[in-house]
A = this chain, B = another copy of it.
Amino acid sequence: MSTAASPRALEHPTRDQIGLEGVLHALSDAVRLRIVRDLAREDDALSCSYFDLPVTKSTTTHHFRVLRESGVIRQMYQGTAKLNALRKDDLDALFPGLLDTVLTAAEAQAGRRDGAEGV
């Protein structure tokens, strides 16, 4: 084995290292907001490849990293796939209602946009 210690450890902030500004910044990007919405809708850990994002794989990796380092999601390897899950418990403990409110707001905005253009 070797490969120097645990080859695929992922850095996550502890609960008390999560900052509001960082979370808001992580959520202020359209691509990342969409990832979080999907994650919340499925309410389960999803692999990166589940998402059909309008960016390349490199950029996808980048966005997942921002989400992880800000404390919004938790990532763990499972074979070749990497599973992503919302840290809903931590976020709810730190900022009660924030995640739900943002998600509701995102849905509302998506609805407005559909309604405005569509049909």
B97 near A97 with CB under 8 A, answer yes
Alpha-carbon gap, A95 to B96, bound state (A): 16
Question: Which of B28, B94, B109 has a CB less than 8 Å from the CB of A109?
Answer: B94
The answer, yes or no, to whether A101 is at the interface (CB within 8 Å) is yes
The answer, yes or no, to whether A38 is at the interface (CB within 8 Å) is no
Determine the main DSSP class of A at the interface with B.
helix
Which residues of the other chain, B, contact A94 by a CB distance below 8 angstroms?
105, 108-109
Q: How large is the interface on A (under 10, 10 to 19, 20 to 34, 35 or more residues)?
A: 20 to 34
In addition to A95-B104, A98-B105, 19 A-B residue pairs with Cβ atoms within 8 Å of each other are A16-B112, A19-B109, A20-B106, A21-B29, A21-B33, A24-B24, A24-B25, A28-B28, A94-B105, A94-B108, A94-B109, A95-B109, A96-B101, A96-B104, A97-B97, A97-B101, A97-B104, A98-B102, A101-B101
Listed in ascending order, the chain A residues whose CB lies under 8 Å from chain B are 16, 19-22, 24-25, 27-30, 33, 94-98, 101-102, 104-106, 108-109, 112
